[in-house]
Structure formats: C-alpha cells, structure tokens
Structure 1
Amino acid sequence: MIRARVTGQVWSTKRIETLPNGALLQVELENGSSMVALDVLGCGVGESVLITTGSVAAAYFTKIKAPVDALIIGSIDE
C-alpha cells in the first residue's frame, strides 16, 4: 500500500467501457512524486488516502477486466 494525499481531479471527456465508475484523482505520494488513481470511495482534495497498484488494483473488479493500475482503497482519518 502507498500513502498519498489527493491534490486534484483529472477530467476525461472519453472513457473506455471497461473503466469502472469512479473519479480519476491526482495524488501526491510521500516521496513528492504524483500519479493518477481511480477513486471508487468518493475521496476529496486534501484527503490522505491509501493506494494499491498493479494486478491487486485491477483484481478488485471481479465482473469485468478493468484497466486499472492504481486504486484508492482507503481514506486515512487524521
């Protein structure tokens, strides 16, 4: 798991059908780098989150083969 903070939203006008419903969020990792992660929880800007990556992120979606490489799996209460 990776700890990060949500810094913004990523907007897309076109999506492929196998991309699950959720928001694409820009997150900043603890080391200062950033990535885009799919959020199915409804997290907001400024929130601390936990992210999983790779096949574990894609395996969360059991009914479709989702093209997801980074998934927000938890919101950290501070």
Structure 2
Amino acid sequence: MLRGRVIGNVWASRRLDEIPSGAFLEVQIEGGATLIAFDVLGSGIGESVLVSTGSVAASWFPGAAPPIDALIIGSIDETAGAQQ
C-alpha cells in the first residue's frame, strides 16, 4: 500500500468497456514518483490517499478483474491520531 496526494485528473474520453465507472487521477506518492490510480471514492486534488497496487487493486472489483493496477482505497484524514 502506498501513501500519496492527488495532484491532477487524467481525462480519458475513450476507454475499455471492462473499466467500471470512476475516475483516473494522478497521484504523487511519497518519494516524489507519480502514478495514475483509479478512483471510485470521489477523491479530489490535494487530498491525501491510500493506494493499493498490482493484482490486489484489480481483484477488488466483482466479476472479471478489469485492467487496473492502482486503486485509491482510502482517504487519509490529516488530523488522524490527534487527541480530541
């Protein structure tokens, strides 16, 4: 699992029918590298996210696994761990 921040949208006006509804987002992961991750949560630019990669990302979807190798699986609360 990777931690990153959404830095942009990737628009795909045409894509395979096997890819479910969702968005492609550019994510900068810790260390500075970027990747394109599929998002079904509605994440936005500037949001900190958790990204699962590889076959685990594709296996989250029911039925036949779509050709997705990076999936945003959570939104990180910036105040997580703070005492209330």
Deviation of the 1:40 alpha carbon:
0.4
Query: TM-score under structure 1 normalisation?
Result: 0.97
The equivalent residue for 1:56 is 56
Query: TM-score under structure 2 normalisation?
Result: 0.90
Q: Which runs of 5+ in 1 are unaligned?
A: none
Q: RMSD over aligned Cα, in angstroms?
A: 0.7
Q: Which runs of 5+ in 2 are unaligned?
A: 79-84
Q: Percent identity?
A: 56
Per-residue CA distance 1:35-60 (angstroms, 9 max, x = gap): 00000000000000000000100000
The equivalent residue for 2:40 is 40
The equivalent residue for 2:16 is 16
Bigger strand share: 1
* Aligned length in residues: 78
- Higher gyration radius (CA): 2
- Counterpart of 1:35 in 2: which secondary structure? strand
C-alpha separation between the residues in 2 aligned to 1:46 and 1:27?
9
Q: Give 1:59's aligned amino acid.
A: S
Q: Give 1:3's aligned amino acid.
A: R
The equivalent residue for 1:72 is 72
